[in-house]
Amino acid sequence: MIDSLYAIVDAEVAEHPLALTFQALNAGCAIVQLRAKRLDDMAFLEIAKRIRSACTHAGVPFVVNDRADIARLVRADGLHLGQDDFSIADARRVVGDMQIGVSTHTLEQAEAANEEGADLIAFGPVFATGTKENPDPVVGLRALEEVCRRVSRPLVGIGGITPENAGETLRAGARYVAAISALPRFFTDAS
């Protein structure tokens, strides 16, 4: 399961974001995404450079959340956009052919992201989550299954993913499972 883990390192939630990144990389995660909604530009850039270096050394793709400018500056492997961020077309003007993922919360949003050329589609929250300030309504596993049938791009199950429910999320058709607050539990449960 760890090889399907999309590790989201939130620099404002994790006490030691670099240490958490190293744990994820050492455990064999599939992807690392840096998320930092409130960090100032310079702090975000500095941590992005360090995590980028660690990911490059480990051979694991590195994704920057929301910030096309920082993704381009650190030569990230990908950019992840939310529903209120740049459009995929606008983001491509900044990051070129870099992989772009999009968070979606409805079948219609997932289909639109698929049609607009997203390389990866995150869908959820599959389960209740406490990480977001104003979370979207829980979509559940059946909606995830439907989206997996209807879109051609790889899907990431997001929202409330834990080691206990990651397996059923993958069985529903997601290629990856994303974790933020439960991320450290994937490493302790794997040992």
By annotation, the residues acting in catalysis are 35, 103, 132
**C-alpha dihedral, 142 to 144 to 145 to 150, nearest 10°:** 130
Distance (Å, whole) CA 154 – CA 183: 21
- Which are the contacts of 49, defined by CB distance < 8 A and separation ≥ 6? 74
Structure-token pair, residue 60:
């694991």
Residue 76, φ and ψ in degrees, nearest 5: -65, 160
Instruction: Name the residue among 79, 83, 63 with its Cα closest to residue 136.
Output: 83
